[in-house]
Every structure is written in C-alpha cells, then in structure tokens.
Amino acid sequence: MPTSYTIGTLAKSAGINVETIRYYQRCGLVPESPRIYGSIRRYGPEDLDRLRFVKRAQRVGFTLAEVATLLKLRERVCCSVTRTLAVAKLEKIDARIDELRQLRGELAGWIADCDANAGGASCPVIEHLDASV
C-alpha cells in the first residue's frame, strides 16, 4: 500500500470517482490535503481509510449527515451514541422493507390484472395508476 496518493490514485483505491472525493471535501467529510511546495495534493492511508468508512456507512444506509456524525464519534469511545444511531437506522430500514413488500404485493396484483385482461380496451396498470392520483 502506498504511503501517499494523488487524488486520482486515492479515488481508484477507494473505488470511487475523483469528483466524489471533492464533493465529500466540500461537505466536510474528508479533509482537503494541503499542496506541498505548490505541487499536487498528496493524501495518506488515513484518508483512504476515512473514504472507505464513508462508503461502508453509506452502503448500510446512513445519510451523509449521519456519516458526518459517525465520523465525529469515531474519534472517541461512544458506543451508546453510535448504537442509538444504528438502532434508528435499522428501524428506518425495517419500515422501508415493509413499504417495499406492500408495494411489491400491489404491483404483483396489477400484473395479475394485466394477465387476466384478455384483449381489454384499457390497461389495468394504467387504470390503477390513474386511480392512485
């Protein structure tokens, strides 16, 4: 593992786009490395670790605002606070799963209505969507 990275090699190592790093910098999630003697910016392994932390947190459903909080909490022992955030995120995920299951059932019903519509004048899916408005 290199001891320093350009923004391009950092992005590639983290599996993200350079513009994503710049966006994270504007959001305050990742510090912008200073230019050494007017040259290009160099980033260290800790920056790669931080980017990977951000991406893992996003992958499990944390928003960037929540990730910012987690990054602050990462710097100290705070298991009760992070646990509370994780429990709240789990509750939101469970609610979303319930909502998706309901939507899935509704769409499956619409598809069944289409299958049963032998040459009907109108499409049952469109009718359902019109009725939903």
| Residue carrying structure tokens 């200073």 | 34
According to the model, what pLDDT value does residue 133 have?
A: 52
Q: Write out the two tokens for 5.
A: 């990275």
DSSP string, 55-95: HHHHHTT--HHHHHHHHHHHTS--HHHHHHHHHHHHHHHHH
Among 34, 23, 100, residue whose Cα is nearest residue 67: 23
Q: Are 12 and 1 in contact (CB under 8 A)?
A: no
Q: What is the CATH number of domain 7-76?
A: 1.10.1660.10
Question: Could you read off the pLDDT of 54-92 as tens digits, one per residue?
Answer: 999 999 999 999 999 999 988 777 788 899 999 999 999
According to the model, what pLDDT value does residue 119 have?
A: 76
According to the model, what pLDDT value does residue 132 have?
A: 61
According to the model, what pLDDT value does residue 124 have?
A: 86
According to the model, what pLDDT value does residue 118 have?
A: 78
Question: Could you read off the pLDDT of 106-118 as tens digits, one per residue?
Answer: 999 999 988 888 7
When pLDDT is averaged across residues 22-35 and rounded to a whole number, the result is 91
Delimit the domains of the chain by residue range: 7-76
SS3 30: coil
